[in-house]
Each structure stands twice: as structure tokens, then as C-alpha cells.
Amino acid sequence: MNGTHPMHPHLRLLRRRPSGRRATGVALLAAVLLAGCAATAPGGGEVTIKRDRYGVPHVYAHDTKGLFYGFGYAVAEDRLYQLEMARRSGNGSVAEVLGPDFVATDKATRSNIDPVSIRRQIDALSADDRAMFEGYAAGVNARIREVMANRDRLLPREFIDNGFEPATWTADDVAMVWIGLILNRFFAGTAEVSNLALLNQLKAARGDAVGMQIYEQLRWLEDTTAPTIVPRGGERHLASAEPGDAALAPVSERAAADFRAMQVARMGLAATEGMPTASNAWVLGPSRTKEGVAVLYNGPQQGFNNPSFVHGIGLHGAGYDLTGLTPIGLLPVLFGTNGTIAWGSTVGSLDTNDIYQEELNPANRYEYKYDGAYRPMTRRTDVIHVKGAAPQRVEIDSTVHGFVQSWDLANGRAYTARNTWQGREIETMMGWARAAQSRDWSGFLAQGERVAASITWFYADVAGNIGAVGLGRLPRRPASQDIRFPARGDGSMEWQGTLPFSANPRAYNPAQGYLASWNNQIAEGLRADGANFSHVDRVAEIHAQLQGTGKLGADEIWNVNKGAAQADLNARYFVPFIVDAAAGLPAGDPVRRAADLLARWDMKNRAAPGAEVYDNQATTVLRAWLGAMSRRLLADDLPPAVFASYANLGYPTLTPRGSPGSVQPAAVAKLLWNALSGPASGVPQRHDFFNGKDHRTMVRAALSDAVAELHTRFGPDMAAWTTPVVRHRFSRINAIGVPWAAAGEEPELSPYMNRGTLSYRVVLRPGALDMCSVAAPGQSGFIAPNGAHDRHYSDQLALFERYDCKPERLTPAQVDADLESRRTLRY
């Protein structure tokens, strides 16, 4: 699997050019790369960077500053333009180089960061910890100096196209990438304002009593049948306040829309309604593997971008000896192994965020009521520099709870956000970074206790132990607080400290022999404001392949990914209902024939050979039925705007701006399942969406509607009822709308695969670990000024498409045996 792959026939918009930075620059760098000569820089330390034949750098140094100097240098060598745009996305300075279209993005970013607090936290670090930040920044700057000294060959083309140059980095910039692109994107979500807006709409349309009944069937606190990561029936760790009377003012449509717009600008469309749900993982103990060792698989779904959101890295020295992958610009290596343990993660589901509804002074909107008196808000004024336009001032206001997210002047209110990780951003980062040095479960948990943001960590070790733990500082909320909605900001709903780490859910060597997640509920008893965890959950596609008493080999464990990625995530729940409802119809009836198509289907969405359509008409039938059933069941009960919000049926779509992202069962699918399950539902069904009608009759009627619709669209021949495939695009636009590649640099594969941004597997054989990974398009994002692409720009695309992986080199001997280049730096 080593070497350069040929151009793949399914790629679009990506032209292979003569080899780029390391290929065209051989004459320039040959002595350094091949002979290992030292590149000079100020100082007396020495760093060696070795790259394997996929371009993955392994950094060797004796001290922390040197190790992270090499880390920053290597990333800048591969991804300098992406790194620059990650820095600007993190600190809110995109408009300075890309113009007025990005002012709103910069405002949203700046409105949720406190640079003074971050600097204070960095200053409080030990000298060794601070050296990580300073070393990384110094390494990036060293590469920038080299690039600018030879810009005609080394400056990435995107800088030239956009008319600016890379800026010098500081330790604060390193921190801001972590906060802006990771914490504020993956860990700041909440549905509390949208929940309040929904309740207001339902009560206005159906009255208070019925409106609340319907609300509780649209947004529930807990489904007692939802699959959990920590197996049900074990020790309960979580505690949540019971719903109380919040006595909140209503939220205006404008304020709710403004709040959502702020979240979209900061987090992206996929993460606006509560917690992001976009990663999977499974870890198996020795009792479940053919080799009798622990195996960890992780598929973080952090978007499909070009360059990839993640890159490979090896760090060796100063207490580290790891190989793994991590998002652009981060110090912690979030995914990997150190030879004794392996670790991974999926976004967590613990409720560490609250929104406060602040009552404003009618005479002064910048004062809010707290403890019986009006207090002035704290105000910070930032200036956003804008390319081609005048600078813009942005006023950033905050209360004792946090930054203002939206104003509702019509109701005399403002909404502020509070997160348990605020003020602990750097401590959270350091816990994640130091976890890679752990040698056992207890050491792993000790670092996890430092992590204040909600994340689920997965663990395996060479002794055969496996585990998972839900991290995040859990607020101790007052009993009167209903976590579904904003808390009152008047001082009556303040957190009473935080729960001890022992309250966080975890599992270690469970009896079932494995643990699995696709961002589903962490443990029974969990209550969250917007997760809507349900019996209908895509993790079922993973459990279906892992459950039972059989043992799996390493390849079979890897291939669970393919089975899950191709699954139609709605099918297993509704095909049985449809087939049963149509069973009494004559065999030749078109409705019965449509049901028979579903009955014969393996419930996978694959491309037909040589065609750009899916290979089974059943997928077309199911999608049409879901739409028809939704209309029959819900359209008469929900206000039109609310019903329209459930139009998404849970299938991938391509937009001009981005890739399909991570697909999960539709929100409406959960409502349909609960209604069809009736008393057996894990969510009490107090409002009858069927209006007394027979369930089977309505299911059959919806299928008849679907058949009629498809007959009109395609004609009577069911063989023509095909659905075009959605292609798998690697977007040049990141999750918050900022480009980090040149126009036209968006490779595509066919069809879309519902899998990780990266996929990796670690087989923890004592003394003989094995790790493989794939993170398409490639390790490098470098395009030379003449348009030439680096040889590692897209050499993982073919692996990605065929669900393959490349071997990771874990030991010095393995790295040397697969060596492409070696370079020594002085700092």
C-alpha cells in the first residue's frame, strides 16, 4: 500500500500536475533531505524530522520546545495556507485578508473568546507546558522565514491568489486555533433558545396544554430505549434537575433567528441544534478478537475537506513516543497510540452548556437584573480590519454568565452563554495533550479529569483492557432549572459548583466485551437539552456487526466501518412496518410490489456498477414513504413552519458550499418510530398523532401515496425508480465557511460514504502493535506557485474510496525502513 497512486478515474476538478514542493524542489533540498544535513536557525537545540513514504512526519527531539518546534515546522511545511486560515478562523481575522464577506464570521468568533483570559492561562503554565505553545509557534515561524526567502518556489499558491502573506505566529495563536476551531465549534452547542421558540410556536397554535404535550414528543429529555455507550443496567453516574417552572419571557422570532445565525457562523450548519453528532468508535477486548488482544477503531467525522481537517504526526522525545493524527494547528494529538495504550474519541453528550435569559433595564439595554438590582454589562470593543473596506468595530458585551449571543429588545431580554470550560480552555487542552503519555487506565483518567469540555474518550492497552469515559465538568444545577430551556439570569438559577469527576459515566472491561459509539447517548439517566437520543440511532448499524459471541479478526473489525457507512439509517426501523402493512394486498398490486422491493433489499445504499444511481429502487421507495408518512402523521398537528423544519429525511445532500458531512437518521424518523411504537415507545405518547386511526392502515396509505408520487415522476416501470447518487466531495470550505484551499481544488469520489474524516485501527499486540489509517485526500496541502501539487496532495484518495488503509510506522526501525526523507533543524 506504499508509494504514489495513479490518478483515480472518479476524481473531478483535481488535475495532477508535475510533482510539487518535495518533487520539484529536489535539487534545492536534496542535500538536506537525503543526507540529513542541518538547517541552521538561532539557538543550540536540534530536531530531526523523518517522513515516511506517505509523507507522514516523525519528529525526534530531546526537549519539549524542540519537539514542538519540529511539530510546528512539519505542519507548516505541509499545510501553511490551511494553517494560516485556521489561525484566522480561530482569532477572528479572516476578513482582513478575504474581505467583507467574512465580517460576520469574525464577529461570531470574537464574540465568544476572551484573549485576556487565554493569555493569563498560558502565563500560568509551567515552563515545560508553555514550551509546547512557544515551540510550535517558533517552528511555524521558522518555516515561514524559509518560504519567504524562496517565495518563488515555496510560497503556497493560495497566498499569491489572494494577495497576502503568512503572518508570524505567537503562543496565543496556537491557543486560539484550539479555542476557535475546536472548543467553540464542537463543544458550545445548545438547543435551549430554539426549544423555547418551538414551545412558544406550539402553544400559540394549539394552546398551552396541547402545545406542551406535542412539544414533549418533539423534544424529549430521555428515551429509555435509546442505545447507550456505557451498557444499561450498570452503575448510574449522572444526575439532572427535574423539569421546573422557569417563568421565562417568550423569545421573539428575530432573537431566535439571530441566536441561530450566531451559532451557524461560529459552528457551521451541522452543529447548531445542540451537540454535534459526528464520529464513531468501537473498541474490543481480548474475548471478542481472534488474536486475543484489544483492538481500537475510531472514525472521527470532522468534515470532508481539502486539505483534510487532520494530518498525521509522530512525536518522539521529551516524554512522548506517539504516532497518530490530529486536527490542523493543534498541540494535542487527539487520535493515536504510544505503544502501550491507544486512544480515540467521539463528541460527548454531557450537558456542560447553559443559556441565560437576562432581563434588561428598560432605560438602558446594557444593564441587566441580577440579585435584585441592575448591573452594567462588561463591554469590549474590537476592530475588525477588512480587505478592500473600512475597518469595522464590534462591541462584545457580557454578563456574569458569559457573552451576549443575541438581543431580544422586543421582550426586554438578552441571551448569554455559559460553558463549564470557560476559563479552563488551556487546562482542557493540556489534559488532552498529556493523555498521550499515559501508560494505563488510571493515568488516562487522571488526565481526563482535567478536560472540562464534553467529549467521550475511548481506551485500549496492551494488557487487553478497554474502556470509555464521558468527560466534561458537570454543573450542579438548582432543582428549579429546566435544562431544556434557558435559565433565568436574575441570580436564582446559578450553578452550585460542579459535580465530582466520579459522577462522569464510564465503562471499563464491560461484560459484553466491547464498547461502541456513533455519538449516541453516553449512559442511562442522561438528560440533555437538544440531543433527542432515541431508539432510532445509527449506532445500531455498528452493534449489529459486533453483537454476539463470535470473535472478529483485525480486518473484520476494520470492515465494520464499511457496513455502517453504506447502511440506509432509516431502513431497519420502517421496512418491517411497511412490509407488514402491505402483506394482505394482492401480489400484483403496485403498493404490494413496492413493499416487496423493500422486503428484498439489504438496506444498503451502494452505487450501481458504472452508473451514478443507487443500485436498488428500494431506497427511492423508502424515501418517498418517509415523506408521505410524515405528511399524513404530522402536517395536521404542527404549525406549518414547525412541520417544514422536519422536511430533512436524513439523507446526504451536496451544497455549493460544502460536503455532505455526517448523516444520521432523520429527526422526523424518531417521531414516526415513537408514534408507531405507541405504549412501547421510550418517549410517552400522550398526544395521538394518528388521531385515532389504525397504524397499519396509515402506513399502507402512506405507501400508496409514495407509489402514486413515484408513478408520476418516473412512470409505471419500477425499474426506472432510481435515485441519483450523492458524490463524496472534499470541500475547500471549512465548517464555518472559510476557504482553506484554492478555487477548483475539490476532489470528488462516488458515492458518498458516511464515515470518518479519518479512520484508524490499532491492534494492541504486546511488543508488536499494528496501526493503520487513512485521512484523505493526503498528508500535504501544498500547491507551488507554478500550480504543481505535492506528491502527497491526494495519494490517500484511492485508499479512502476502497475502504483501505496505509500502515503507520510506530518504531524507529519501521520509520527508517519506510523512509522518504530526513531533515535536521537547529533552533
* pLDDT digits 0-9 by tens, 693-717: 999 999 999 999 999 999 999 999 9
pLDDT above 90 as % of the chain: 85
649 inside domain: yes
Nearest to 503 by CA among 523, 480, 481, 532: 523
What was the pLDDT predicted at 30?
34
- pLDDT tier, 735 (very low <50, low <70, confident <90, very high otherwise): confident
What CATH number should be reported for the domain holding residue 672?
1.10.1400.10
Average pLDDT over residues 652-663: 82
Known catalytic membership, residue 279: yes
Q: Are the beta carbons of 760 and 343 closer than 8 angstroms? A: no
531 inside domain: no
- Choose the catalytic residue: 19, 93, 111, 279: 279
DSSP single-letter state for residue 369: E
Q: Are the beta carbons of 618 and 600 closer than 8 angstroms? A: yes
Question: To the nearest whole number, what is the mean pLDDT of the chain?
Answer: 92
Identity at 713, one-letter amino acid code = R
Q: Are the beta carbons of 279 and 301 closer than 8 angstroms? A: yes
Q: Which residue has 423534544 as its cell numbers?
A: 219
616 inside domain: yes
What was the pLDDT predicted at 396?
97
For residue range 588-622, list pLDDT tens digits in order.
999 999 999 999 999 999 999 999 999 999 999 99
Is the peptide bond preceding residue 100 cis, with omega within 30 degrees of 0? no
688 inside domain: yes
The upper half-sphere exposure of residue 304, i.e. CA atoms within 13 Å in the direction of its Cβ, equals: 30
227 inside domain: no
- pLDDT tier, 541 (very low <50, low <70, confident <90, very high otherwise): very high
154 inside domain: no
- pLDDT tier, 660 (very low <50, low <70, confident <90, very high otherwise): confident
Range in 433-437, 652-656, 703-707 the model is least confident about: 652-656
- pLDDT tier, 21 (very low <50, low <70, confident <90, very high otherwise): very low
What was the pLDDT predicted at 654?
86
Identity at 210, one-letter amino acid code = V
What was the pLDDT predicted at 527?
75
Is the peptide bond preceding residue 739 cis, with omega within 30 degrees of 0? no
Helix, strand, coil percentages for the chain (3-state, nearest 5): 35, 20, 45
Domain count, the chain: 1
Where in the sequence is the domain holding 585, given as residue range(s)?
Answer: 569-603+608-724
For residue range 44-65, list pLDDT tens digits in order.
799 999 999 999 999 999 999 9
Take residue 676 and report the three cell numbers written for it.
Answer: 408507531
Take residue 94 and report the three cell numbers written for it.
Answer: 479572516
Range in 4-8, 235-239, 813-817 the model is least confident about: 4-8
For residue range 105-137, list pLDDT tens digits in order.
999 999 999 999 999 999 999 999 999 999 999
Nearest to 381 by CA among 368, 369, 366: 366
- pLDDT tier, 1 (very low <50, low <70, confident <90, very high otherwise): very low
816 inside domain: no
Q: Rounded to an integer, what is the distance from CA 437 to the centroid of its chain?
A: 24
281 inside domain: no
| C-alpha distance from residue 464 to each of 282, 439, 456, 461, 554 (Å) | 14, 13, 20, 6, 15
What was the pLDDT predicted at 628?
99
Residues belonging to the chain: 827
Instruction: Give the H/E segment covering residue 90.
Output: helix 64-91
Q: Which residue has 477588512 as its cell numbers?
A: 386
For residue range 297-314, list pLDDT tens digits in order.
999 998 899 999 999 999
Res. 789: pLDDT tops 60? yes
Distance separating alpha carbons of residues 422 and 445, to the nearest angstrom: 21
- pLDDT tier, 263 (very low <50, low <70, confident <90, very high otherwise): confident
Res. 238: pLDDT tops 60? no
Spell out the long-range contacts of 606-614 with Cβ–Cβ below 8 A and sequence spacing 24 or more.
606/566, 606/751, 607/725, 607/750, 607/751, 608/722, 612/724, 612/725, 612/750, 613/722, 613/723, 613/724, 613/725, 614/722, 614/723, 614/724, 614/725, 614/751
What was the pLDDT predicted at 193?
94
What was the pLDDT predicted at 796?
99
Q: Are the beta carbons of 415 and 356 closer than 8 angstroms? A: yes
For residue range 278-296, list pLDDT tens digits in order.
799 999 999 999 999 999 9
Res. 35: pLDDT tops 50? no
Range in 34-38, 312-316, 510-514, 821-825 the model is least confident about: 34-38
